[in-house]
Structure 1
């Protein structure tokens, strides 16, 4: 868990799933109910995203589809228990999960971008070197190809002979 500075409220992320028995118009009041529940427990919603209707990986309470919703909010930790309990008792919500979300500073975001750029540059270099290796490998066997062709001519089997052998094998009753 990340530490929260004194005087600051922790930042949480709530992902909840509304059952499929409701239409898109009927889920709006349910979403408002969840938002009001957070607000009534001294929570401040910073972001609310409706992720839409999706197929569930497995049936939950007999439903194969559900409406996903994501809410980010700030709230004192002692009030989170009340919100979690109220969400569990709500019949419209199939599942919910609340996690403590770490807020990144601008310096951390810049550092993540620099690391991502380094990784991308490294992968481009590795890809170029792999292409060069493939090209050199393709050029080298081309010079020695006639010798390998001569070796395969000796091992070459006539297709008619091969078909006859396969027919004999398939005609037998015992394949093992």
Structure 2
């Protein structure tokens, strides 16, 4: 594994994630954790938007290649998905709570969900866990996931690393309206 990815660790899908019991069978399940520096926002929605908007440039090229291929198979393209409502990038928002947002898509070949979960790391710092689960419906879905899974893992790690290098969004500290002091 390249040295630059040492900030990112492969972890089990957190037991408190909404992904844990989502599908009876999973054809891909992975999770990657990265520590968040002090003062970083713990809003899963804000962090998901930040990660997905700061992905490396080469990911855009891979998505164009993917869209060219899947359009021939009658599957949804990123351009189509990005034009729909209730989205973060190309991903549908399924649920959100103060610690986790679930994104994903259902299609005829597979369903998948992504979790962006903010947790406390074992040593007391905050961490973000980016998890993905995929359930395939047919041979096209299984073939698709077989081909893209190595790219998926590289994209997730590279996107987390890029977000860390750009600088995570800061937490908004509430102020007292009367005095202007930080609460």
Give the alignment's TM-score, normalised by structure 1: 0.29
Considering Cα pairs closer than 8 Å and 6+ residues apart, tell me whether 1 or 2 has the greater RCO: 2
| Structure 1 or 2: more helix by fraction | 1
